[in-house]
Amino acid sequence: MIETRLGEFEEVILLLTGILGEEAYSFKIAEEFETQTKRSVSIGAVHSTLNRLEEKGFLTSKVGNATAERGGRRKRIYTITAYGKRALESARDLRMSLYNQFPAFAGKMDFGFSV
């Protein structure tokens, strides 16, 4: 059976894919990961995570057009599937539920979205 839960790194990569939209290709995702988290990441870790997320059905990919900036090479662009969006919603809901149960945070969490 295919694992349907998201690990923390998978969750962040999936979120960044959604944030980047049509610019969601591995190098750009790795760059954005480092910018957003202030942590370094290997391109290999990003590639293997994107492949795993695609195998789980959370992402689809297509090969884009060749670009001069990449020496004529084409980019593989990733897009979140409806299944991937549901997985993100479930991960968010679980985290928010847990935070809301933690006495130090109970009633104090406001992220601008409802749970």
Q: What is the pLDDT of residue 71?
A: 67
| High-pLDDT (> 90) share of the chain, % | 69
- In angstroms, what CA-CA distances link 68 with 29, 32, 72, 75? 19, 21, 5, 11
Neighbours of 46 (CB within 10 A): 21
Instruction: Tell how far CA 24 is from the center of its chain.
Output: 10
Where the chain has pLDDT below 70, the residues are 1-3, 66, 68-71, 107-115
Correct CATH for 8-101 of 3.30.230.10, 1.10.10.10, 1.10.3080.10, 3.40.50.300: 1.10.10.10
- Type of residue at 57: G
